Amino acid sequence: MDIGYLGAFLGGLLSLLSPCSAMLLPAFFAYAFSRPALLVARTGVFYLGLVTTLVPLGVFAATAGAFLSQQRGTLLTVVAIVVIVFGNRTLVGRLPVLAELVISENTKSHKRYA
DSSP characters over 70-83? HTHHHHHHHHHHHH
Cα separations (Å) of 114 from 104, 107, 110? 15, 10, 6
3-state secondary structure at position 93: coil
**71-80 residues labelled b (16+ CB within 10 A) or e (exposed):** eeeeeeeeee
- The reported pTM is 0.45
pLDDT of residue 106 exceeding 70, the answer is no
More confident residue, 102 or 36: 36
- Residue of higher predicted confidence among 114 and 23: 23
Query: Across the chain, what does the average pLDDT equal?
Result: 76
- At residue 80 the predicted structure's pLDDT band, cuts being 50, 70 and 90, is very high
For residue 92, pLDDT over 90 is answered with no
Q: Judge whether residue 87 has pLDDT over 70.
A: yes
